[in-house]
Amino acid sequence: MPAPGRTGITAVMNLARFPRRRYTPFATPIEAMPRLSAALGGAELWIKRDDMLGLGGGGNKTRKLEFLMAAALAEGADTIVTMGAPQSNHCRLTLSAAAKEGLACRLIIEERVAGSYRTDALGNNLLFDLMGAASQRVVPLGTDIAAELAAEAAAVRAAGGRPYVIPGGGSNPLGALGYAACALEIVEQSFGMGVVFDRLVVASGSAGTHAGLLAGLVALHAGLPVTGINVRRPRAEQEGNVHALAVATAALLGTPAPARDEVVALADWVGPGYSLPTPEMVAAVRQVAALEGILLDPVYSGKAMAGLIALVTSGAIAPGERVLFLHTGGSPSLHAFAGDLR
């Protein structure tokens, strides 16, 4: 493999063709988790610290927003319109990016669990207020979100503004380029560290992170399989969503599309539903905090870590396998789940 920054590796996937804002001026660290590995007694576990990405509070949406905000600015937008659930990390980070760029930001909040949105909630909901959301409009689960986003954009135009609509999670092919770039970062770090990973594990939600990683790793011929841990949908539905977006992302990149059988999004740790706590999630969040001093979140990285722990302890991930866990961030929402985590 060519050394990082030299000809060969970047030629496989020319991301420089796409305008990009840089919100993180460094590669996020890859760290060993020796105490957790020893406690579980199986695989050798490592963690990619995307909770350290730039913008307010960090997390995986920052990588997507680097490409999406560049497109918004190129179009002369003055208002970002997006959506997410209560405690949405995506909404928090989109607000942060909009504030940094001097743009207004309007939020549509999809209440996926009835009664879960409270204007006085802590966590990300508090940060929506601190970062100056221009508006927050709550709609129930089952609402036609595409129509709501279009209506919000039309309202901005009617008031003389120039909107740019970002889908939930920033998960379209342009946003997924952020994780194709992360795939390149991981391959370069692996080479630089002299550490070969056997598997990458990541939370799989709105699909952009999972799909972007797959598209990037296939383009780079990395030979690194990705195991997604689903946080919302049944396995077949989520795998279909991830594959469709990975194919579209590869088409945007002009690189080979991942095969359907390369998409794995296990659904055994979703529990009763999206954002609803599970005993396994609570145990995983507490164990990683106590053993490694790393804060996971209850909705995404906590459930993904619960899945990873179960795969290791059951032997589904073989002893001695070297596994990289991608930390997607989200710890600012921990305070909103204090009653469940204590």
Banded pLDDT at 120 (limits 50, 70, 90):
confident
Whether residues 157 and 219 fall in one domain: no
On whether both 114 and 147 belong to a single domain, the answer is yes
Residue among 192, 190, 198, 203 nearest 223 (CA): 198
- Report DSSP state, residue 257: P
Question: What's the rounded mean pLDDT across residues 188-202?
Answer: 97
Are 163 and 242 within one domain?
no
pLDDT at 4: 38
Residue 28 and residue 160 share a domain: no
Is the pLDDT confidence value at 32 over 60? yes
Confidence of residue 119 (pLDDT cuts 50, 70, 90): confident
Q: Given a cut of 80, is residue 280 above it in pLDDT?
A: yes
22 occurs within a structural domain:
yes
Residue 141 maps to which CATH number? Answer: 3.40.50.1100
- 127 part of a folded domain: yes
* Same domain membership, residue 328 and residue 201: yes
Average pLDDT over residues 163-187: 97
**Domain end position, chosen among 105, 140, 170:** 170
The side-by-side arrangement of strands in the sheet containing 79-84 is: 135-140, 104-111, 79-84, 163-165
| One domain, residues 191 and 297 | yes
Considering the domain architecture, whether residues 133 and 250 belong to the same structural domain is answered as no
Residue 116 lies in a domain: yes
Mean pLDDT of 112-140: 90
User: Residues near 278 by Cβ (< 8 Å), separated by ≥ 6?
Assistant: 269, 271, 272, 303, 306
Q: Which long-range contacts (CB under 8 A, 24 or more apart) does 132-135 make?
A: 132/95, 132/99, 132/105, 133/91, 133/95, 133/105, 133/106, 133/107, 134/79, 134/104, 134/105, 134/106, 135/106, 135/107
Instruction: Write down the pLDDT at residue 49.
Output: 98
Task: Judge if 77 and 91 occupy the same domain.
Answer: yes
Q: What is the average per-residue pLDDT within 160-175?
A: 97
User: 65 and 166 share a domain?
Assistant: yes
Number of domains the chain is built from: 2
114 and 133, same domain (yes or no): yes
Hey, which residues are catalytic here? 88
Question: How confident is the model at residue 337, as a pLDDT?
Answer: 92
Domain end (from 137, 170, 203) = 170
Same domain, 47 and 67: no
pLDDT of 176 higher than 90: yes
Same domain, yes or no: 291 and 164: no
Indicate the average pLDDT of the chain: 94
In a domain, 4, yes or no: no
Provide the domain limits for residue 102: 61-170
Q: Classify residue 2: in a domain, yes or no.
A: no
pLDDT of res. 6: 33
For residue 5, the model assigns a pLDDT of 37
pLDDT tens per residue, range 201-248:
999 999 999 999 999 999 999 999 999 999 999 999 999 999 999 999
Q: Which residue, 170, 202, 219, sits at the end of a domain?
A: 170
Mean pLDDT (whole number) for 22-43:
97
Indicate whether 88 belongs to any domain: yes
Predicted confidence (pLDDT) per residue in 45-101, tens digit: 999 999 999 999 999 999 999 999 999 999 999 999 999 999 999 999 999 999 999
